[in-house]
Structure 1
């Protein structure tokens, strides 16, 4: 049973979609497990250390690219899931190409600035129109609205406690993205690659883990109550449907 449960572990926002179902929510599992954390941080650590030691951008880019590719190859050889490693390879590849094309090490971090800025703007707009972006993501993962979109939307938006929790969690993530940009962009503008790389690492996985954990604390209880209420309503409908033929014969 334990093995099957571990296989159902989800990461990122998908882990939040299970909030209220598991009493043993794990931040480490939610951010990809120990191996996922190491694989996510290692390319960035290597890039900073190698560039500082050698001051050779081309060598740094080549070794970083080789490491990212090696991580995917190892997972393939071990016949493990490669989706996380492939997405990481793609992200690292974009960063490395950006730095190589511009001949500036600091541009390795430009892609991260853009993604943080996009998330910041989209989530801020979602709060402005009172449709929490985090709620949209979690509910979309939890129950894909292939049909009856309006009913799906009204179901969770109509739950005031759940919507309020999603609004707070969305504001939390806006703060994370805004703080990253506020700290790191000045370092980029002053071409301080060492401190930029260091703060990027410190505000990467650790901030992600903290935001996931606090988001779980915010939404777990209202989401659990919402799921319980939906299950009870579905059972009531089933009982009424089962009793309907008997009533009609009377």
Structure 2
């Protein structure tokens, strides 16, 4: 495995490797990644509740997001995560600023959760687990022979079943966020909404990745070993021919 651990769903793509060093902290971005992900939301809700000044809250949150990116730039670290976070925070702040409503800071999150929930629900309905597509695509990008790549993991009943289970799990996660947070948005409970967003953000994300890893690790490991044995057998056969 590479020295630099992959994060998010990419970490699940390594579940079938001959390794027991899976780390949930590293999978969610490490301590720094967790802080950088949660800090803008914490600052926004705390500052707005304390001052009730939306413009000041937006300005401070925007400066904080820029500082995070500049810090990575100065330290010559990867900027992709920080830049993607900056774009997301920027959209949220602009949405709140243009609408003059603090609660609209969370609108982008509602939309993304709704889109993910719908897409995963559709994938479950057609019996092609969305999480399986994503994880297998990360594991082995099908630059050619797409049909062979697709059937390789879809025809493995145990692996497909595991992917169906974790796809259901993530669908429930996105739906639960909406069920809890949308009523708070509709009733304009910004403080409660901010707390709910924080609690159902990184902690739920970490739990979903950990449980998903536990579910798919064994069938993926077995599938990977079977694939290797079949490949070795094919190579030996070609050598004898």
Taking structure 2 as the reference length, what is the TM-score of the superposition? 0.98
> What does 1:59-208 align with in structure 2 at a 5 Å threshold?
59-208=56-205
Q: Tell me which residue corresponds to 1:19.
A: 15
Q: Alpha-carbon deviations, 1:99-153, whole Å to 9, x = none? A: 0000000000000000000000000000000000000000000000010000000
Name the larger-Rg structure.
1
Say which SS state the counterpart of residue 31 (structure 2) adopts: helix
Say which SS state the counterpart of residue 226 (structure 2) adopts: helix
Structure 2, unaligned stretches of length 5 or more?
A: none
Residue 24 of structure 1 deviates from its aligned partner by 1.4
Given the alignment of the two structures, is residue 212 of structure 1 paired with residue 201 of structure 2, yes or no? no
Q: Tell me which residue corresponds to 1:247.
A: none
Say which SS state the counterpart of residue 88 (structure 2) adopts: helix
Residue 5 of structure 1 deviates from its aligned partner by 4.6
Given the alignment of the two structures, is residue 42 of structure 1 paired with residue 43 of structure 2, yes or no? no
Residue 83 of structure 1 deviates from its aligned partner by 0.6
Question: What CA distance in whole angstroms lies between the structure 1 residues aligned with 2:139 and 2:65?
Answer: 31
Number of residue-to-residue matches in the alignment: 240
Say which SS state the counterpart of residue 108 (structure 1) adopts: helix
Bigger mean CA deviation after superposition, 100-109 or 13-22: 13-22
Structure 1 stretches of 4+ moved >3 Å? none
Question: What CA distance in whole angstroms lies between the structure 1 residues aligned with 2:2 and 2:134?
Answer: 23
Taking structure 1 as the reference length, what is the TM-score of the superposition? 0.95
